[in-house]
Structure 1
Amino acid sequence: MGSTSAENSSAEGVGRRDLIKRSAALGLISVPTMSFLSACASGGGDDSSGDKGKDKGKGKTSKTNPFGVEKGGKLDVVVFKGGYGDDYAKAWEASFDKKWGTTSAHTGTQEITGKLQPRFNGGNPPDIVDDSGAQQIKLDVLFKNGNLLDLAAVLDAPSIDDPAKKVRDTLIPGTLDPGLQGGKVVALNYIYTVWGLWYSGKLFKEKGWEVPKTWDDFLAICKDAKSQGIGGLAHQGKYPYYINVAIMDLIAKQGGLDAMKAIDNLDPKAFVGSDAAAAAIDAIYEVVEKGYLMPGTNALTHTESQTRWNQYKAAFITCGSWLENEQLKQTPTDFDMKFMPMPSLSGDKLPFEAIRAGSGEPFIIPAKAGNLPGAQEFMRSMLSKEWSTLFAQKANSLTILKDGVSDGVQLRPGTQSTVDASKAAGDNTFNYLYPNWYSEMDVSIQNASNELMSKRIQPKEWLKRAQAAVDKAAKDPASKKNHRD
Structure 2
Amino acid sequence: MNDRPSQPQPTRRSVLAFMALSPVAGALAAGCATPGGKQTPAAAPTGRAVAGNPFGVAAGTPVEVVLFDGGYGQAYIKLPVELYQKKHPKAEVKQTSTQQIQQTLQPRFVAGNPPDVVNNSGSNAIDYGALVGDKALLSLAPLLDAPSWSDPAVTVRDTLRPGVVEVGTREGQFVVLNYSYGAYGAWYSASLFEEKGWTYPQTWDDYLGLCDKMATAGIAPWTYPGQFPYYMFWWLASMIYKVGGKEVIDKINNFEKDAWTDERAVTALKAFEAIPANGWVLKGSSGLNHTDAQMQFLQGKAGFVPGGSWLEKEMGDSVPAGFDMSICRVPSITDADDRPFGALCAKAGEPYVVPRQAPNTAGGLEFLRAMLSDEGASNFIAKAGTLSSNRNAKLPADAKHGLVSINTALSEAGDDIFGLTVDTRDSRLWNDIAKVMGRFMNGDVKAAQLAKEAQRLTDEARG
State the TM-score, normalized to the length of structure 2.
0.81
CA contact (8 A) 2:68 2:122 kept: no
Please give the alpha-carbon distance, in whole angstroms, between the structure 1 residues aligned to 2:288 and 2:114: 34
1:60 aligns with 2:47: yes
CA contact (8 A) 1:7 1:132 kept: no
Match of 2:220? 231
The structure 2 residue matched to 1:376, chosen from 356, 359, 365, is 365
Please give the alpha-carbon distance, in whole angstroms, between the structure 2 residues aligned to 1:232 and 1:389: 35
Structure 1 SS opposite 2:415: coil
1:365 aligns with 2:354: yes
Please give the alpha-carbon distance, in whole angstroms, between the structure 2 residues aligned to 1:271 and 1:207: 37
Q: Mean alpha-carbon deviation: is it higher for 458-467 or for 332-341?
A: 458-467
Q: Mean alpha-carbon deviation: is it higher for 243-252 or for 98-107?
A: 98-107
1:404 aligns with 2:389: no
Structure 2 SS opposite 1:192: strand
Match of 1:277? 265
Match of 1:28? none
Please give the alpha-carbon distance, in whole angstroms, between the structure 2 residues aligned to 1:130 and 1:447: 30
Q: Mean alpha-carbon deviation: is it higher for 280-289 or for 386-395?
A: 280-289
State the 1:245 CA deviation.
Answer: 0.6
State the 1:259 CA deviation.
Answer: 1.7
Please give the alpha-carbon distance, in whole angstroms, between the structure 2 residues aligned to 1:454 and 1:169: 44
Matched residue type, 2:5: N
Match of 2:20? none
State the 1:375 CA deviation.
Answer: 2.5
Change (3 A) 1:117 1:230: farther
Change (3 A) 1:379 1:204: same
The structure 1 residue matched to 2:70, chosen from 81, 90, 102, is 81
Match of 1:23? none
Matched residue type, 2:371: M
The structure 1 residue matched to 2:287, chosen from 299, 302, 317, is 299
Q: Mean alpha-carbon deviation: is it higher for 134-143 or for 340-349?
A: 134-143
Match of 1:213? 202
Match of 1:415? 403
Deviation string, structure 1 residues 375-419 (Cα, Å, up to 9, x no partner): 32221111111101111221233323242338x755322222122
Alignment gaps of 5+ in structure 1: 13-39, 476-485
CA contact (8 A) 1:44 1:120 kept: no
Within 5 Å, give how 1:109-188 maps onto structure 2: 109=99, 125-133=114-122, 136-188=125-177
Structure 1 SS opposite 2:76: helix
Please give the alpha-carbon distance, in whole angstroms, between the structure 2 residues aligned to 1:148 and 1:340: 37
Please give the alpha-carbon distance, in whole angstroms, between the structure 1 residues aligned to 2:386 and 2:226: 25
CA contact (8 A) 1:235 1:305 kept: yes
State the 1:178 CA deviation.
Answer: 0.8
- Between structure 1 and structure 2, the one with the greater Rg is 2
Alignment gaps of 5+ in structure 2: 17-27
1:445 aligns with 2:442: no
Within 5 Å, give how 1:456-471 maps onto structure 2: 457-471=445-459
State the 1:69 CA deviation.
Answer: 5.2
Deviation string, structure 1 residues 270-302 (Cα, Å, up to 9, x no partner): 112x12222233334432343322344333333
Change (3 A) 1:47 1:253: farther
Over the aligned positions, Cα root-mean-square deviation in angstroms equals 3.4
State the TM-score, normalized to the length of structure 1.
0.78
1:339 aligns with 2:327: yes
State the 1:145 CA deviation.
Answer: 3.7
Q: How many equivalent residue pairs?
A: 440
Please give the alpha-carbon distance, in whole angstroms, between the structure 2 residues aligned to 1:449 and 1:122: 43
Matched residue type, 2:202: K
